[in-house]
Amino acid sequence: MVKQFQQPVLSLDAYEDYVYDVKWHPNHPGAFAAVDGEGHVDLWNLNQSIESPVVRCENPNSHKLALNRCSWSNDGRRLATGDSEGTVSVYGVDQSIYHPRTADFVQFNERARGFQPIMQRTSRDSAYGDLGRYAPSTRTEGGTWDLGAAR
């Protein structure tokens, strides 16, 4: 059974710049890619960590350009990213990501069952309010983003 929440259930704060795009992996329940304004390509696997990405790659161009799009191939074996000058880069991913095991689904379902909505702040707590239950991040400017309930 899938829980339906109106508030985010997880907030990830691993970025110094804006996150421009995020895409769930088409096969792996706990994996997604994110690209940011500093040219990072991050692969997250929530089965392994909710604190940091499992892999971080730099934009292959010689100068740092914002990456503003990412997209998985239908089979999940490749990730394409696009930068602010129109260059597309393609990355291959490990078989453990594109061909997840049954245990990966079980592990993610167990983790997701433990997620609870992050309570919204009230205006009297601060300029942005106060979280009833703090997530890893309380910032709202670029670089902080909320991940809603799984797919």
For 34-80, write each residue's pLDDT tens digit: 999 999 999 999 999 999 999 999 876 667 789 999 999 999 999 99
Residues 146, 151: Cα–Cα separation, whole Å: 13
**Could you tell me the strand order of the sheet in which 78-83 lies?**
67-72, 78-83, 88-92
Residues in the chain: 151
Residue whose entry in the numeric block shows the structure tokens 């049954």: 102
Q: Residue 18: what residue type?
A: Y
Which pLDDT band, with edges at 50, 70 and 90, does 116 fall under?
Answer: confident
DSSP 143: T
Return the pLDDT at 64: 79
Does the structure show a pLDDT above 90 at 122? Answer: no
82 neighbors 56 (Cβ within 8 angstroms): no
147 neighbors 30 (Cβ within 8 angstroms): no
pTM for this model (two decimals): 0.73
**pLDDT tens readout for residues 135-150:** 333 332 333 333 333 3
Residues 5, 54: Cα–Cα separation, whole Å: 27
